A and B are shown apart, each in its own frame.
Chain A
């Protein structure tokens, strides 16, 4: 039973004992310091010179992996054999196949970094960084629209301010967004160095901060962008392309190229693929090898001198054999060490490509002599690039005149010269009449070579309202008509 007197005493005692607790709680605000929740593992802001190298490496790595695989299986430069590569070889492409490229590598990867750099450079008055970021953005945006068609841009990169960005039509990307980006880049990069609060240097892994080369790159990309419109508006495409070519790359030294490192964590993506996913890229496709080996698998004088750079012959007993598309049997030659070593370089766009663009545009506008000259220069520079110049071989293969030059020759020579470059797939889609791809054996699309990628699962799940529906891999993108 209650004893009021005792209880009073006890309550007093309790209060006395609880005093330290009250004191403890006075300091509680300090103890629950939300600043503790500031992430010590990651910075909240980084300077431009730390964003640029990541954007460059990310772009080049994508070119060495997801931009060319599976497109070059489909183009039969390479043969996909094991697992998913084998499925893609047979024209299976599922929405999840595009997730990594779309989400991790491009939109939330390089493109977001470029978007951040563009804004940050504007604020920090660093026009060179801004121009470079715009150029890289233009390159990646063009790659993405070429593979996927309509894609988000103007409403993209806004984080929680817009969870469901609408899509820009490929037409508007080509007609407005890309030319504006590249023109703006050229303006920024042409400003005097003194306008820059900070300029790129060693952090620019492609041109070491040389703004004139970035300007040439921007023009080269413009040339590529216009030539892509050859089916849509031919006359404009060629004249615009030629105008850009005039200010584009002028030698192999201008190529947009990046060499990888000598460590596993800095390794070339093709090297990594062969190392970590052995057998996925089974080897070279018969189409490419047959175009280059003079019709016989034996090593002979009629072989394209680049073949020994493009391919090695391990496993094929010294002969140049490629895999028949979709039906790998026996053994095929593998990607040569120039391209597949740990530190091999990857070129995203080259002087050789610019000359081929020039040849095509001149040919299509009736200047056959000019086209032949550009063609010869392109092929010779392609050999020179790999250090295999060969006057004898060039005398029959890079010796075109206004009488002999054809569109088929230009496009097929470009197919060979742009080995392991994603532009090959765009060229085929523009010229599938002259670049002949026989559908892979056992394909799943009733003999229709894929014309695009499918929208990734990420967009279907998370941007359902905007992602175009009813697309199959045999549908053509806008400029493919």
Chain B
């Protein structure tokens, strides 16, 4: 379109030159109000005439006008046309404002090909630079949440450098990756979150350790020009393998034509942010450490001092003993005790004493400039965070260089190189006795964790006298995890123009990084009391080569064809070196030479693929668009002789407002309907076609077990996973229909999409009966479906001079269903704990929580035990469960809800008044369950807020009843294996206490009760982003001569959160960026952030 405009302009110039021989000459420069850059190719026209010129490379124009000319109309693609009265002036400089909603929007599609959005038969949504940098996000993925329909982002925790998980249109694979492919400047990059720990433990390592970053965190938000999200198969089919989960296409900033480097734009931005914990589980402050109402201090080894089921603290006093090493005030005694002093008990809110304000400093400088032959963009950014947890740090340094030059009339060379160094220090989390939250939230209110974490003899000071769990201050000071990443992402491109309608494009890209980690546990830490040090080095290398022939030809009137023929080669290599040293001798000295035993592992992964592809685009009258793609792929991970496969996409777009009767309609400005059908395929995981032997390793879920070599003897065992030499690619079939409508000169815009993805032959590591001799087999067996709607609504409710209100809604609803797993396999555990699993189960939504529930009657009422006592002959046993819900631990686990949301809605409001702009983003997630193991355990321990009411009567809602027993006293079961229950059908009225017996028993899953009590709704409404920015008026800026633009801004993230979830911020995941979302077990809390920053251009 833009080219067409220029062409038209030239034609008009030719005409005008003929018509106008004489007149006044007007000169001037056309610039953009956005960044002050000059606009080459802008059209300058005398209003109401055909007298037209275009600006040159520096944005300058010269136009001869007749004396009667009154005004100039200046226009540029993507900018609002501006009219300027001539009024006798000979020098007229014009500043153009960007056009608000441009129908001729150009978006980046597969393989970095820019397309008119109008021509697409599928949905693509973009986020621009400004929307990414409005709030500071070390992990750029977080900037996408709420802004794009169909995209769900979960930030695993508020820890600096933590991971984020992103999915597009639900999940597609059972046990393979479910996250989209990330492509930067045409090069696929790695977004793994490698985890540490003995590799033999596999994904068990995810429930402990630290929140390992996902590698997209390395991208520097300030360098990003736009993020284009390709959602469905039709959009991604050209990418082929790995693109089944959608593609996030990132385009980095490029040099602009500033008419020479001396005029280059230098942009500087700087911000400081403050982070705070945004939500924590509640704590009771009424009762002390101990059990049965008795105080048991940290030094009391004879009782269950891990609990906080001790005495009411208002009945206790300190005894004033001065030699009590756990508390300067002495031990706790009853207020009636002879040794009681007058000093009342102090309670400590340990989380308040532990968490601190976090600070992030983000500084970035870039230079962008060039002429019409060459241009360059270079930047340096530094982001540095001190987290909300003591000693949690994250720092990132990013250097970016991007250049392109026309070597000859036909050949253009482009290149991008991005070097990133990032490093972090993180703290232990999750199901790990050295985990920060685990020790912190179990600490009784009478123990001050902050009063020291180590005694002079080197032993640990914690509330259990050195055993149990690490004092959180101990673990953050002694058990340090560090990582250091060095990464280079780059590409070299050649564009050879064969003719006006044909060019050849080649791009070679690479992504290479090393991730060097060290994880320490000091002697006397609880996870490894004898100390452990491990180094874990990951190396990753991806090479990608794309060769494309682009043909673009108008074949006859109204009919245009584009054809791309291409070839792709891709190589992946990763390697891990894990060395674990146990049993340290010297405390605090973390080197492998301090370890008495060493375990070393080296793991390699390698694959290659090659592909041929084609893309045919046809358009008719700029109204009807067809696009078809085909790709044939070869992969090394598939069995010999069956290692290639083809797939395709077909899409159609029909812009019905181009029809003669509908054109230039005052109400309906633009209307399009679109439809597509596609199939994308995915190859197998590496090394899954053969069965192998593994180094001997035995563990049983409770203990870390035995790893070979054993006392110097090597040992191997038959591998647990059965290889499969009949693997085929998995197929992701999608259908998409949609419409795009714009009304009232773009004041109202609607973009609606319905899609259905039906995935078959999904490869999964299917569990097999252990009796086969194996644990699992890689198979093409599963089938899954995602159906959903996406609705994007753009409104401009108010648009008057100098005031504008924009409203954008992004609504997403996705319904996922597992249709089939493998023959005889009904469910697959994705993650979780004993008694609480996240599973994929046939007939249910993926990632459904499975666990046990109390017994219920047919109406769903909980059965409340109505048997006061058991009588057996002469013996009468009081039933301690009388009045409490009935639980049968032998009953099988049942589905307790999907962790996937029902729907999400992002609402962005932005207001512009003169140079002040204000915007906020409300993020609404409805539905989706979370297992709140944290609060369950806290209630077991008596520290949770629910246990405050331990002395109050409570009536459980439900109906009185009991399990029917047979003559021998055994439970009786129906044909399905469920207990037979007798109920009265009335409403339970019996008051009981939710006391220590309850919470350490059936009242929590930790005590052996049902999981269902801890499954909570993780819906939320949050003020995800808010920002106010003020841009100095151009008139003021121009006076400085050297500043081109200057703005200051304040922004906030998560400043308000409304949720029923009783734990930390429900946007959390113990398993980090992996498919087993929905587990909260002593996860690190989330944060809210305040940022103040400036942006200046010189």
- Known A32-B634, A262-B596; judge A160-B690 contact (CB<8 A): no
Interface-located stretch among A239-247, A291-299, A381-389, A456-464: A456-464
Q: Which residue of B lies closest to A280 (CB)?
A: B702
Interface-located stretch among B106-114, B312-320, B767-775, B857-865: B767-775
Does the CB pair A315–B301 fall under 8 Å? Answer: yes
State A66–B610 Cα separation when bound (angstroms).
Answer: 49
- Known A159-B691, A459-B770; judge A17-B700 contact (CB<8 A): no
The interface residues of chain A lying within 8 Å CB-to-CB of B826 are: 461, 464
B724 in the interface, Cβ–Cβ < 8 Å? yes
Q: How does the 8 Å CB contact mask read for A54-89 relative to B, with 1 for contact and 0 for none?
A: 110110011001100000000000000001101100
Does the CB pair A101–B700 fall under 8 Å? Answer: yes
A481 in the interface, Cβ–Cβ < 8 Å? no
Q: Which residue of B lies closest to A316 (CB)?
A: B302
Total residues of chain B contacting the partner, CB 8 A: 110
Contact of A163 among B640, B716, B772 (CB under 8 A): B772
- Known A105-B700, A108-B775, A265-B597; judge A465-B824 contact (CB<8 A): yes
Contact of B890 among A28, A53, A94, A331 (CB under 8 A): A94
The interface residues of chain B lying within 8 Å CB-to-CB of A41 are: 602-604, 687, 692
Tell me the chain B residues, 697-752 only, with Cβ under 8 Å from chain A.
Answer: 698-708, 710-711, 713-720, 722, 724
- Known A61-B706, A101-B700, A163-B768; judge A265-B599 contact (CB<8 A): yes
State A66–B701 Cα separation when bound (angstroms).
Answer: 10
Q: How does the 8 Å CB contact mask read for B769-794 relative to A, with 1 for contact and 0 for none?
A: 11111110100000000000000000
Min CB distance B768 to A, Å, is 6
Does the CB pair B835–A58 fall under 8 Å? Answer: no
The interface residues of chain B lying within 8 Å CB-to-CB of A464 are: 824, 826
Does the CB pair A32–B824 fall under 8 Å? Answer: no
Does the CB pair B716–A165 fall under 8 Å? Answer: no
Does the CB pair A32–B700 fall under 8 Å? Answer: no
A14 in the interface, Cβ–Cβ < 8 Å? yes
- Known A14-B498, A470-B977; judge A36-B567 contact (CB<8 A): no
The interface residues of chain A lying within 8 Å CB-to-CB of B351 are: none
Does the CB pair A203–B702 fall under 8 Å? Answer: no
Min CB distance A49 to B, Å, is 9
Q: How many A-B residue pairs have CB under 8 A?
A: 322
State A61–B701 Cα separation when bound (angstroms).
Answer: 13
- Known A50-B714, A51-B715, A464-B824; judge A277-B703 contact (CB<8 A): yes
- Known A41-B604, A104-B720, A272-B705; judge A96-B687 contact (CB<8 A): no
B694 in the interface, Cβ–Cβ < 8 Å? yes
Interface-located stretch among B51-59, B178-186, B968-976: B968-976
B636 in the interface, Cβ–Cβ < 8 Å? yes
Contact of A115 among B604, B606, B773, B971 (CB under 8 A): B773
Contact of B714 among A34, A53, A445 (CB under 8 A): A53
State A279–B769 Cα separation when bound (angstroms).
Answer: 33
Min CB distance A198 to B, Å, is 16
Does the CB pair A96–B834 fall under 8 Å? Answer: yes
Interface-located stretch among B68-76, B421-429, B548-556: B548-556
- Known A14-B498, A18-B549, A92-B889; judge A58-B698 contact (CB<8 A): yes
The interface residues of chain A lying within 8 Å CB-to-CB of B708 are: 53-54, 57
A391 in the interface, Cβ–Cβ < 8 Å? no
The interface residues of chain B lying within 8 Å CB-to-CB of A116 are: 718
- Known A112-B718, A158-B772, A159-B772; judge A458-B567 contact (CB<8 A): no
Does the CB pair B977–A273 fall under 8 Å? Answer: no
Does the CB pair A165–B692 fall under 8 Å? Answer: no
State A327–B582 Cα separation when bound (angstroms).
Answer: 36
B803 in the interface, Cβ–Cβ < 8 Å? no
B639 in the interface, Cβ–Cβ < 8 Å? yes
Q: How does the 8 Å CB contact mask read for A156-194 relative to B, with 1 for contact and 0 for none?
A: 111110111100000000000000000000000000000
The interface residues of chain A lying within 8 Å CB-to-CB of B703 are: 65, 269, 272-273, 276-277
B1006 in the interface, Cβ–Cβ < 8 Å? yes
Q: Which residue of B lies closest to A117 (CB)?
A: B718
B593 in the interface, Cβ–Cβ < 8 Å? no
State A464–B705 Cα separation when bound (angstroms).
Answer: 30
State A111–B773 Cα separation when bound (angstroms).
Answer: 8
Min CB distance A30 to B, Å, is 10
Does the CB pair B504–A17 fall under 8 Å? Answer: yes
Does the CB pair A53–B696 fall under 8 Å? Answer: yes
Does the CB pair A44–B690 fall under 8 Å? Answer: yes
State A37–B772 Cα separation when bound (angstroms).
Answer: 25
State A152–B769 Cα separation when bound (angstroms).
Answer: 10
State A36–B639 Cα separation when bound (angstroms).
Answer: 11
The interface residues of chain A lying within 8 Å CB-to-CB of B774 are: 108, 112, 159
Does the CB pair A53–B704 fall under 8 Å? Answer: no
- Known A54-B696, A205-B710, A461-B825; judge A14-B502 contact (CB<8 A): yes
- Known A57-B715, A273-B703; judge A261-B710 contact (CB<8 A): yes
A46 in the interface, Cβ–Cβ < 8 Å? yes
The interface residues of chain B lying within 8 Å CB-to-CB of A445 are: 970
B583 in the interface, Cβ–Cβ < 8 Å? yes
Tell me the chain B residues, 437-462 only, with Cβ under 8 Å from chain A.
Answer: none
The interface residues of chain B lying within 8 Å CB-to-CB of A403 are: none
Q: Which residue of A lies closest to B841 (CB)?
A: A461
The interface residues of chain A lying within 8 Å CB-to-CB of B704 are: 264-265, 272, 276
Min CB distance A312 to B, Å, is 13
State A90–B887 Cα separation when bound (angstroms).
Answer: 14
A39 in the interface, Cβ–Cβ < 8 Å? yes
Name the residue among A41, A106, A315 with the largest chain B CB count within 10 angstroms: A41
Does the CB pair A54–B717 fall under 8 Å? Answer: yes
Does the CB pair A104–B775 fall under 8 Å? Answer: yes
Q: Which residue of A lies closest to B875 (CB)?
A: A447
A235 in the interface, Cβ–Cβ < 8 Å? no
Q: How does the 8 Å CB contact mask read for A19-41 relative to B, with 1 for contact and 0 for none?
A: 00100110010011110111111
State A28–B643 Cα separation when bound (angstroms).
Answer: 12
B15 in the interface, Cβ–Cβ < 8 Å? no
The interface residues of chain A lying within 8 Å CB-to-CB of B216 are: none
Contact of B770 among A86, A158, A264, A458 (CB under 8 A): A458
Q: Which residue of A lies closest to B636 (CB)?
A: A36
Does the CB pair A10–B604 fall under 8 Å? Answer: no
State A58–B604 Cα separation when bound (angstroms).
Answer: 27
Q: How does the 8 Å CB contact mask read for B814-830 relative to A, with 1 for contact and 0 for none?
A: 00000000011111000
State A44–B687 Cα separation when bound (angstroms).
Answer: 11
State A99–B1008 Cα separation when bound (angstroms).
Answer: 18
List residues of chain B with CB under 8 Å of any chain A CB. Answer: 301-303, 306, 467-468, 496, 498-499, 501-502, 504, 528-530, 532, 547, 549, 553-556, 567, 569, 580, 582-583, 596-597, 599, 602-604, 606-610, 612, 634-640, 643, 686-687, 689-694, 696, 698-708, 710-711, 713-720, 722, 724, 767-775, 777, 823-827, 834-835, 870, 880, 889-890, 892, 965, 968-971, 973, 977, 1006, 1008
The 8 lowest CB-CB distance pairs between A and B, nearest first, are A263-B597, A103-B770, A54-B696, A42-B692, A107-B770, A54-B715, A446-B969, A112-B773
Task: Given contacts A205-B710, A331-B302, A446-B970, list 20 more A-B pairs with CB under 8 A.
Answer: A10-B501, A14-B549, A34-B636, A37-B687, A39-B686, A44-B693, A46-B693, A94-B835, A159-B772, A159-B777, A160-B722, A162-B772, A205-B711, A261-B711, A265-B580, A265-B706, A330-B302, A448-B968, A463-B769, A470-B973
List residues of chain A with CB under 8 Å of any chain B CB. Answer: 1-2, 6, 9-10, 13-14, 17-18, 21, 24-25, 28, 31-34, 36-46, 50-55, 57-58, 61-62, 65-66, 83-84, 86-87, 90, 92, 94-97, 99-109, 111-113, 115-116, 151-152, 155-160, 162-165, 202-203, 205, 260-267, 269, 272-273, 275-280, 315, 330-331, 442, 444-448, 454, 456, 458-465, 469-470, 472-474
26 sampled A-B residue pairs with Cβ under 8 A: A2-B555, A10-B502, A32-B635, A41-B602, A51-B717, A54-B716, A62-B700, A65-B700, A86-B1008, A92-B1008, A103-B775, A151-B771, A152-B769, A157-B772, A159-B777, A163-B768, A163-B823, A262-B596, A262-B597, A263-B597, A265-B599, A266-B707, A446-B970, A458-B767, A459-B771, A464-B824
